Structure 1
Amino acid sequence: MGYIKKDNLISGLLVAFFTFFIALLVSLGSEALVRAVNNVIVALILLLMVILLGIFFDIIGTAATAAQMPPFNARAAKKIFGAKQAVKLVGNAHLVANFCNDVIGDIAGTLSGAIGAGIVISLVNELVFLDIILAGALMTSFIAALTVGGKAVGKSLAVNQANSIIFRVAIILAWWEKMSGMELFKNRR
């Protein structure tokens, strides 16, 4: 434990704690939605939305680590709306990447697996000739292909368009901070 700082350990434990509760709430909500709807098409749409959400946040996390600070500092000096938030996003890239890529990404991965399992069970119950092992393997492969393929395309986009992506996210964040009065990264860079 000589290499792990106490602050990093506490921060990691806090992230784990909050991730547990976020995942629990989102999982219960999506599971209730899938059960209430009891429609394979709607469940597939929900599955695709969860996968796309994971890819979307992966793009943001990757862009935060690839973005360059000087253009945002220049915009912030000119008081351009969203530039201050862009500086904070890039200045805290490690936190943004951790939240977007790891927390949201892992929750989306877990949820997509759970929703996929629910879809397989529904299909096996409706189509008695369907083999549950084969259907489960196909669903897992489908989810993995969409997730990994989507993130591969997303990472390329994020690296090549990092500043543009971060500035768009920063504008949304600036709007949210203005409307809610709550500032993200209040005591950070």
Structure 2
Amino acid sequence: MKEHYKKSIRFSLGIAVITFVLAALFSIISTFLLDGVGWYFGIIIVLCIVLVGVFFDMLGIAATAADEIPFHAMAAEKVSGANHSILIVRNADRFASFCNDVIGDISGIVSGTAAAIVVLQISLGIGFDEGSGSQFTISVIFTSIIAALTVGGKALGKFLAMRFSTKIILYAGRMIAFMEKHLHITILPPIKKQKRKKTLRR
């Protein structure tokens, strides 16, 4: 029981460190991309950040909804990505935690920050004074649109994840297999072979 708690604490600390690093990277990249570009490009960048959050949220839900059995049949037929799909399903809690809590939440925070920058760009581009009522109106409208797209996109993603979980996880397994083969990045632990217990004959 104590070992279980230790593993949970180690995983939580690991996720916290990964979140810190990825949040910093997301913030730096988004700020760099938004610096010096027109507000129309800024809107596209914000929408891309929202789509990243929606996509990973869908992956996390699909992992918890998928069944392991179909992937064993695919693995027997040497279908590409089947073995990695089995690993995703077996580690569904951690995979979903990373996709939903880490990438999903970071995308939400960064998209909000990026949206504020875009609102400022729109206001300055149109000629509104900073802190004016017009800028406030643009901020409310744009923030509401981003929130609606985020929530609506995640609702659609959940529907697709529940309905097509096997196909979605198979594609995710293929992506991970490609990364491990060509980029030599190990994302998931290998499948452990279960040892058969020897029966004693009397």
Question: Where do 5+ consecutive residues of structure 1 fail to align?
Answer: none
C-alpha displacement of 1:187:
4.9
Residues 109-134 of structure 1: per-residue CA shift (max 9 Å, x gap) = 01110110001111222331762322
Q: Is residue 81–residue 171 contact of structure 1 (8 Å, CA) maintained in 2?
A: yes
Number of residues of Structure 1 aligned to a counterpart in Structure 2: 186
Could you state the TM-score of these two structures normalised by the residue count of structure 2? Answer: 0.85
Match of 2:162 in 1: 159
- Note if 1:146 corresponds to 2:149: yes
Aligned residue type for 2:22: I
Cα RMSD for the two superposed structures: 1.8
Which ranges of 4 or more aligned residues in structure 1 deviate by more than 6 Å?
Answer: none
Larger radius of gyration: 2
Identity %, equivalent residues = 38
Which residue number in structure 2 is paired with residue 87 of structure 1? 86
Unaligned runs of at least 5 residues, structure 2: 193-202
- The farther-off stretch of 155-164 and 77-86 is 77-86
CA gap of 1:188–1:131, structure 2 versus 1, over 3 A, is: farther
Q: Which amino acid aligns with 2:8?
A: N
What's the offset of the Cα at 1:188?
A: 6.1
Q: Supply the distance in 2 between the matched residues of 1:92 and 1:20 (Cα, whole angstroms).
A: 22
3-state SS of paired residue (1:13): helix
* CA offset digits 1:72-93 (Å, max 9, x no partner): 1122233322110010011111
- The alignment partner of 1:68 has SS state of coil
What's the TM-score, normalizing by structure 1?
A: 0.91
Q: Distance in 2 between matches of 1:90 and 1:187?
A: 13
Cα gap change, 1:99 to 1:188, in 2 (>3 Å): farther
- Following superposition, the deviation at residue 36 of structure 1 comes to 2.8
The reply to whether residue 184 of structure 1 matches residue 187 of structure 2 is: yes
* AA aligned opposite 1:154: G
- Write the distance in 1 (CA, Å) between the matches of 2:25 and 2:18: 11
Report the counterpart of residue 103 of structure 1 in structure 2.
102
- Give 1:58-97 correspondences, 5 Å limit: 58-97=57-96
More helix by share: 1
Q: Which residue of 2 aligns with 1:119?
A: 118
Q: State the alpha-carbon separation in 2 of the partners of residues 22 and 181 from structure 1.
A: 20
**Contact 2:87-2:190 at 8 Å conserved across structures:** no
Mapped to 2, the partners of 1:67 and 1:100 lie a distance apart of 15
* Partners of 1:99 and 1:165 in 2: CA distance: 16
Match of 2:33 in 1: 33
